[in-house]
Amino acid sequence: MALAMVCALCGTFGYAAEKVATAPDKVLIAYYSWSPDGHTHYAAEQIQKATGGTLFEIKPKVPYPANYRACVDQARKECRAGFRPELSNPVKDMKQYEVIFVGSPNWCGTMAPPVRTFLTSYDFSGKTVIAFFTHGSGGMQNCERDVRKLLKKANLLPAKAFFGRSIRDANQEIADWVGSLLTVQSKTAKQ
Ligand SMILES: Cc1cc2nc3c(=O)[nH]c(=O)nc-3n(C[C@H](O)[C@H](O)[C@H](O)COP(=O)(O)O)c2cc1C
């Protein structure tokens, strides 16, 4: 019975149900967003509002083509090959963050290649990592699974996939999801 309850509280991948306690200055929200609608950017902004953390845009050195067809063609090849494009901007001091949200559009069923680069550019051991995605109707597909493959030493909390076109109606859903995973308290609020 007790075991059944614990299992029920765990996600698909067996995550612990306990919330992570942290402070706003310990939270980084890194995201890559490609489309002019900026679905993933928008989701990242909502997470920033919910946590008080720092927003960080992941930027490839060479931007992807603005043309949708050309971008899909390039993305398909790169995703299949596990390609990691160079990024133009490092996080200044990754050591200061203990909770890192990482956001990506679902590209060809997985994370966008710049996010793959980001996840393999830092040591995430001991840090809490929370991946989020926006998609065009495919949902999570292999996004969460592929992040897990790259981050064996991090404390990975359940990822979330949001339907991109409805993202601007998802403020409450995003806030509730963040609240279900984290307790974020500033140092002054604790006193
Ligand atoms: C290159 C490319 C590949 C995509 N592949 C998928 C996919 O496999 N499954 C899916 O549901 N959506 C796919 N989409 C749609 C995006 O995931 C979706 O529109 C997302 O919300 C865009 O986020 P953004 O505005 O932050 O770029 C793809 C979009 C692009 C540009």
Residue 189: pLDDT over 70:
no
Q: Are 130 and 161 in contact (CB under 8 A)?
A: no
Average pLDDT of every residue of the chain: 91
Indicate the domain borders of the chain: 18-186
Grade residue 187 by pLDDT with cuts at 50, 70 and 90.
confident
Q: Which atom of ligand 1 is nearest to the CA of 108?
A: 8
Q: Are 28 and 56 in contact (CB under 8 A)?
A: yes
140: Cβ below 6 Å to ligand 1? no
Q: Which atom of ligand 1 is nearest to the CA of 37?
A: 25
CATH of domain 18-186: 3.40.50.360
Write the pLDDT tens digit of every residue in 58-85.
999 999 999 999 999 999 999 999 999 9
Grade residue 186 by pLDDT with cuts at 50, 70 and 90.
confident
* CA 38 – ligand 1 centroid, Å: 11
Q: Which atom of ligand 1 is nearest to the CA of 74?
A: 1
Radius of gyration of the chain from its Cα atoms, rounded to whole angstroms: 16
